[in-house]
């Protein structure tokens, strides 16, 4: 029998502000308790102005949401809009969103990605050779140097000079601004989004974002004047784009799209690679098996050969399963009355796919808290059972690039360097803006 939306269980009976605080400070505990109590779908009063949103973790329900994008539309994302702006791919809807995705997609697939292989390899070598034996370092910070350079190369092509150094620094400052759960709080409480001067958290964020905007606008203007038709980077591609009435993109539209790619493209990948390093160096059997697989290729292996290795692929998948960088998909909204998991949903209801809970379902992943790459060798998972990059019309644009980079960097480090974990205590996941990252950034020591 079809039940009404009212009957969907509440994540908790605690006051809403308390639930929101727990969601910000300890999202995994919040979700796990709610799923034990309520199962595959529950109401959670955790996002912005909404009395509640629905969190869903059943693969069948996720399939319906992703496939029926006319009933479950993809509205602007209120959490990231203040960061990426009104013209970002994360915020665009409908036809405009579809067109812009189509335009950007080739830059993150096939041949274009292969071209980044040498760059990724060189950058990994560059950052690793900076370290001397005995040196302790934070893997996440080190890897961010690689992922930031890669995305700058993809977006701008050849880049160097004062403007780019400044841009890199400002981007790191911006992402570091959301490093801890406390600092991330303003994204979830719109009332805290107030400019109370340069020293206030939101005020300093706005100034930082303003400086990034100025640097990008200056670059856009220079590129418009340069008008070089031989360049194949993403900015050149966007500069050539015209809409159906023959209009090109405005400077502000271009700027928001560039910020989106620069931010989405490096934070997430750096986090995923540092988690990968953590598991590989925490579990000697994983490291040995991986090393053996890499050794079977020898040291002249091509990027294509490396990224096709089955055990390396399984290690990356398990890394993205156990602590997915994005714990939720971006939001969906009910456009017309629709049934989901036996409930009749009302127009306007906001729904999030809960990636973390789906990845921890014991029916799919026995002993879900254990890191076992073999599970990905033993069976295949559908895109609704394993979804670190989301799904449907908003599925991550950078998935192929992220996986390519993750595999190459991990392979290069494991094969060529001896490292150990520097901390005795286990690393643990912590909120970092809208993502989940290792709380201490994975402290490691270079052995040789």
Which residues sit at the interface with ligand HEM, rule CB under 6 A?
Answer: 89-90, 101, 108, 260-261, 264-265, 268-269, 272, 325-326, 329-330, 388-392, 394-398, 401-402
> Counting Cβ atoms within 10 Å, is residue 327 exposed (0-12), middle (13-18) or buried (19+)?
buried
Least distance in Å: CB of 271 to ligand HEM? 7
Closer residue to ligand HEM (CB): 141 or 344? 141
In this structure, the number of other CB atoms found within 10 A of the CB of residue 2 comes to 8
Answer for the pair 355, 327: CB distance below 8 angstroms, yes or no: yes
Least distance in Å: CB of 421 to ligand HEM? 21
For residue 353, what are the CA distances in angstroms to 3, 199, 325, 392?
20, 36, 14, 11
For residue 104, give the nearest of 399, 320, 353 by alpha carbon: 399
Least distance in Å: CB of 38 to ligand HEM? 22
**Distance, CA of 27 to CA of 9 (rounded, Å):** 18
Closer residue to ligand HEM (CB): 131 or 171? 171
Answer for the pair 93, 100: CB distance below 8 angstroms, yes or no: no
Q: What torsion, rounded to 10 degrees, do the Cα atoms 205, 210, 211, 216 define?
A: 130
Closer residue to ligand HEM (CB): 205 or 275? 275
Closer residue to ligand HEM (CB): 398 or 438? 398
Total number of residues shown for the chain: 448
Answer for the pair 393, 74: CB distance below 8 angstroms, yes or no: yes
Least distance in Å: CB of 51 to ligand HEM? 22
Closer residue to ligand HEM (CB): 238 or 402? 402
Give, for 334, the enclosing helix (H) or strand (E).
Answer: strand 332-334
**Bridge pairing between strands 3-4 and 53-56:** unpaired
Look at the alpha carbons of 101, 103, 104, 109 in this order and tell me if their dihedral is positive or negative. positive
Closer residue to ligand HEM (CB): 236 or 260? 260
Least distance in Å: CB of 397 to ligand HEM? 4
Least distance in Å: CB of 203 to ligand HEM? 27
Closer residue to ligand HEM (CB): 12 or 156? 156
Least distance in Å: CB of 394 to ligand HEM? 4
**Distance, CA of 421 to CA of 404 (rounded, Å):** 24
Closer residue to ligand HEM (CB): 21 or 55? 55
Least distance in Å: CB of 96 to ligand HEM? 11
Closer residue to ligand HEM (CB): 303 or 391? 391
In this structure, the number of other CB atoms found within 10 A of the CB of residue 118 comes to 11
Quote the Cα angle for 353-433-48, to 5°. 65
Least distance in Å: CB of 233 to ligand HEM? 13
């Amino acid at each position: 029998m079809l039940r009404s939306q009212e009957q969907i269980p509440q994540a908790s009976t605690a006051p809403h502000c308390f639930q929101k605080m727990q969601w910000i400070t300890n999202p995994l505990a919040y979700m796990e308790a709610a799923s034990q109590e309520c199962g595959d779908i529950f109401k959670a009063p955790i996002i912005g102005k909404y009395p509640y949103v629905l969190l869903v973790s059943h693969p069948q329900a996720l399939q319906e949401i992703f496939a029926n994008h006319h009933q479950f539309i993809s509205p602007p994302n209120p959490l990231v809009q203040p960061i990426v702006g009104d013209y970002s791919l994360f915020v665009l809807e409908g036809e405009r969103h579809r067109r812009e995705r189509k335009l950007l997609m080739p830059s993150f697939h096939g041949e274009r990605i292969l071209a980044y292989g040498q760059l990724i390899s060189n950058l990994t070598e560059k950052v690793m050779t900076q370290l001397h034996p005995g040196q302790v370092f934070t893997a996440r910070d080190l890897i961010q140097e690689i992922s930031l350079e890669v995305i700058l190369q993809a977006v701008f092509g050849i880049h160097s000079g004062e403007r780019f150094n400044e841009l890199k620094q400002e981007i790191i400052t911006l992402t570091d601004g959301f490093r801890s759960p406390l600092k991330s709080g303003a994204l979830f409480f719109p009332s805290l989004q107030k400019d109370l001067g340069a020293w206030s958290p939101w005020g300093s964020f706005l100034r930082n974002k303003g400086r990034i905007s100025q640097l990008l606008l200056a670059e856009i203007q220079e590129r418009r004047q340069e008008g070089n038709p031989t360049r194949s980077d993403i900015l050149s591609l966007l500069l050539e784009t015209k809409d159906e009435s023959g209009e090109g993109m405005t400077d502000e539209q271009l700027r928001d799209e560039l910020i989106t790619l620069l931010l989405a493209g490096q934070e997430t990948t750096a986090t995923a690679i540092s988690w990968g390093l953590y598991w590989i160096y925490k579990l000697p059997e994983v490291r040995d098996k991986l090393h053996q697989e890499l050794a079977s290729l020898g040291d002249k292996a091509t990027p294509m050969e490396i990224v096709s290795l089955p055990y390396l692929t399984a290690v990356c998948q398990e890394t993205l399963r156990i602590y997915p960088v994005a714990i939720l998909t971006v939001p969906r909204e009910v456009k017309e009355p629709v049934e989901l998991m036996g409930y009749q949903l009302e127009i306007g209801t906001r729904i999030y796919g809960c990636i973390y809970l789906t990845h921890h379902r014991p029916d799919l992943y026995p002993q879900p808290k254990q890191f076992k790459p073999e599970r990905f060798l033993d069976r295949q998972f559908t895109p609704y059972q394993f979804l670190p990059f989301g799904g449907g019309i908003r599925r991550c644009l950078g998935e192929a690039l992220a996986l390519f980079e993750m595999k190459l960097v991990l392979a290069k480090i494991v094969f060529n360097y001896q490292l150990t974990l520097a901390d005795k205590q286990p690393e643990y996941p912590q909120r970092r803006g809208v993502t989940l990252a290792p709380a201490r950034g994975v402290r490691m020591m270079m052995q040789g």
